[in-house]
Structure formats: C-alpha cells, structure tokens
C-alpha cells in the first residue's frame, strides 16, 4: 500500500471531524438565533403594551396637554418606545 493512502484516510477523517464540529456549532448558533428572535417578539409586544398604558396615563393625568394621539406621540418616553420598536422590527429610519 502506498504511503499516500494512510495520509488520505487521515485527512478524510480530519475533514469529517471538522465538518461535524462546524455543523454542531452552526446548529447551536441557529438555536440561539431562534431563541433571541422569540425573545425579541415578546419584548416588542411588551413595548406596545407599555406605550398603550403610557398613552392612557398621559391622557388621564393631563387631558389639557394630551388631547390627541399626536400630542401623546410627542412625549419623549413615547418617542423612545417608538424608536425601540422601530429598531427591533427593522423599521428604524
């Protein structure tokens, strides 16, 4: 048997091992991305709920200042929530 055959077998085994390691790492990274995506969706939902609660509180606490949705949208906290939602959903300008 040629000396090249054992070397080829050794190299093939190394490639197979490296491929398995890469695939395991890829699958772990994909799982982590899915987990982060689910968490992101939940956070966006919570931000929408917080914005709704804040808007209601602003209208009740200062009805003369926050008469319309546009008035509420000008509040700094509402702007920050809107910006966070836009960034999290890829709609940031």
CB 10 within 8 A of CB 18: no
Percent of the chain residues past pLDDT 70, beyond the cut: 96
Model pLDDT for residues 25-35, shown as the tens digit of each residue: 999 999 999 99
Q: Per-residue pLDDT averaged across 19-24, rounded? A: 96
CA dist., res. 19 & res. 17, Å (int): 5
Instruction: Specify the pTM.
Output: 0.71
CA dist., res. 17 & res. 14, Å (int): 5
Q: Per-residue pLDDT averaged across 15-20, rounded? A: 95
Q: Tell me, what's the pLDDT at 41?
A: 95
């Amino acid at each position: 048997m040629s000396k090249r055959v054992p070397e080829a077998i050794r190299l093939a085994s190394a490639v197979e091992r490296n491929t398995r390691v890469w695939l395991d790492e890829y699958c772990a990274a994909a799982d982590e991305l899915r987990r982060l995506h689910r968490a992101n969706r939940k956070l966006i939902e919570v931000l929408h709920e917080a914005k709704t609660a804040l808007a209601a509180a602003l209208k009740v606490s200062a009805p003369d200042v926050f008469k319309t949705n546009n008035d509420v949208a000008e509040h700094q906290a509402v702007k920050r929530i809107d910006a966070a939602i836009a960034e999290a959903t890829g709609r940031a300008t």
